[in-house]
Chain A
Amino acid sequence: MTRVLLLVEDNPTDEKLTLRGFKKCGVANEIVVVRDGAEALDYLFERGKYAGRIADELPAVVLLDLNLPRVGGLEVLRQIRANERTKLLPVMVLTASKEEEDVVRSYTLGANAYVRKPVDFGDFATAAQTLGLFWLLHNQPAPSPQAS
């Protein structure tokens, strides 16, 4: 079973475009979509409505928008990095503008890469390759992130 991708995106248009891009390129991984930062944290830390979710393994990668309702993207990233279980989880930050790329650069919060929206599969593939997530694009069994 391939591991899931977690897409944290509140904008339905961007979500649609992203999902479409992945689907068109034959990414077979399940893509879990959450709408805001709080939900993303619930999913990752198995709290709230995701408490005791069956698939207890972490997503292969998190695609994280910065402008999110309730809990912002940078705060989600901070909490991911602060937690022992998730601190090595690959996170790609989705930026809406060059402005946000600067924000990600200036905060050394530990984003692994950033991808400009709308996430087109080509950009995603490039970013994934620089992160050594080549396997993800080829639907190969995932090595554990802790071991990578």
Chain B
Amino acid sequence: MWSEVLTTRLNRRLKIRTKLMGIAGVTSLALVLLIVISSAISRRVDGEVSALERLYVPRIALQPQLEAQFERIWRGFQDAVAASDDDALAATGELKDRFLALLSAARGSLAPDEAETLRHAVEDYYATGLDVSRRLLAEEADEGLPDAMAAMQKKQARVIEVLKATTRFDEHTLQSAFGATRHALDAGRTSRLWIGVGLLIVVTLLSLGLSRGLVRSVAELTEGFQHFSNSEFDRRIRLRAGDELGDLAQVANQMAESLERGRNLLQQRTDEVLQVNRELEAFSYSVAHDLRAPLRGMNGFARILFDDYKDRLDADGLDCLQEIQDNAVRMADLIDALLSLARVTRTALKPESVDLSAIARSIAARLAAAEPDRTTEVMIDDQLRAHLDPHLASNLLENLFGNAWKFTSKRSPARIEFKAVEENGSRTFFVRDNGAGFDTEHASKLFAPFQRLHSVSEFPGTGIGLATVQRIVHRHGGRIWAQGVVDAGATFFFSLPSTAIGEQRT
């Protein structure tokens, strides 16, 4: 349909402002047109009505006026004859002239030929009347007088007749005049109705067409924004309207483009950081690994020296040799701890439901078997399950139990608990001991690698265990914290999210 094509084309090109102004303009124009047409029709009806008025209103007053004036004329004749007054008779001329003046003044509302006939009839009567009156006044015997009087009466009747005819209201003329007026009124009403309906349809179609375009544009914008809100920044809004919504679509597309660029940049940076991190880990791993090789040599050859040449060394020499070996062993332990810490971050997480109680029991049994002379009370709750990597779970509990075991070495009986508490819907596990404890003020140092709160001579260790524990908990998206009192014991709490969290690293 052509109007659809037109509105579509208009929709593409015009601004919303222009469209709205167009609709307002068309509406105003329609109103003005309606007013102009109405007033033209009113004028036409007015013309018809005033024509009727001009034609008939003067006649309404004219007939009695003319009749009265005519009566004055013939009474003037009678009075003059009765009083035998020549002057009064002469004065009737004035009365006749006034009649004619009235007639001539009303000429516009009378048919000209009829008015002329009336004038002639009046003149004729007057002439006869004046003649008859004079003959009566002469008081002479007059044979022809009765005939003249009869003629005069005939003429009087003729004047009355012509006067009535001249000033009558013609029914037919009146009907046609009213008919014409009614017709004009009807035509005006009908044309106003049609013009009004036509304009209404045009304005409605225009508004509908334009608003349909707007609705379509808004729908496309909404769809585009939905894509953007789903982070699909590679999508574009395909809106080619030339209006403000088209501008909005363009701006939105530019926004998506820059968001996409930003995201790509961020991804690139993240990849770079991950790459650097991987390289760093590989580096520290290989450094730690390579450090072991010369250490093996030192330790191995020191042992050979001890095995094969101890006879040739005195006590001091043997002591030095022992020191070399002890230090080499300690350094090997440190390197092993570092490697194990690195392994926590290097290996891929394979979380599953793990029975922590069972793992803790086997660790406790192993520790007790290694030092059968110690008196310990180990309390482990049943059914402590969590969702985490089983190898790392063992590593975690080994470190926490190992610590508890180590720091309770001077207690008898040593007490170690492994329990869980429910808090705000999440489970918090804890390992508590009655060992050497620590000052809570230093709690933040506990989890940093190589940070120790006790000397090696007091309690041996590498300072890596709790760093490993923290890393394991963090890798599972959990939280770890500690409470302690010097010489009264320590408690290590950890909580894990209820479900496995996705692996952050690749």
Contacts and interface: CB of A to CB of B under 8 A. Distances in A.
Q: Do A and B come from one complex?
A: yes
Interface of A: 11, 13-14, 17, 20, 67, 96-99, 102, 117-118
B292 A20 contact: no
Contact of A117 (B294, B296, B335, B336): B296
A96 B289 contact: yes
Contacts of A117: 296
Interface string B16-53: 00000000000000000000000000000000000000
Given A13-B296, A67-B289, A117-B296, A98 B340 contact: yes
By DSSP majority rule, is chain B's interface helix, strand, loop, or mixed?
helix
B445 interface: no
A96 B304 contact: no
Contacts of A13: 293-294, 296-297, 300
B212 interface: no
A133 to B, nearest CB: 24
B336 A17 contact: no
A98 to B, nearest CB: 6
Contact of B340 (A11, A14, A99): A99
B442 to A, nearest CB: 30
A96 B292 contact: yes
Contacts of A14: 293, 296-297
B481 interface: no
A80 to B, nearest CB: 24
B366 interface: no
Range class of the B interface residue count = 10 to 19
Given A17-B300, A118-B300, A96 B336 contact: no
A11 B339 contact: no
Nearest to B307: A24
Contacts of A11: 293
B345 to A, nearest CB: 13
B304 A20 contact: yes
B235 interface: no
Interface centre among B300, B336, B340 (most CB of A within 10 A): B300
B410 interface: no
A99 B289 contact: yes
Given A20-B304, A67-B289, A97 B297 contact: no
A13 B335 CA distance: 19
Contacts of A96: 289, 292-293, 296
A117 B289 CA distance: 12
A32 B399 CA distance: 42
Nearest to B304: A20
Given A13-B293, A96-B292, A99-B339, 16 more contacts: A13-B296, A13-B297, A14-B293, A17-B296, A17-B304, A67-B289, A96-B289, A96-B293, A97-B335, A97-B339, A98-B336, A99-B343, A102-B343, A117-B296, A118-B299, A118-B300
Contacts of A97: 289, 292, 335-336, 339
B309 to A, nearest CB: 13
B301 interface: yes
- 4 closest pairs, A vs B, by CB? A13-B297, A17-B300, A118-B300, A99-B339
Nearest to B342: A99
A66 to B, nearest CB: 10
B441 to A, nearest CB: 35
A117 B295 CA distance: 11
Given A97-B289, A98-B339, A118 B296 contact: yes
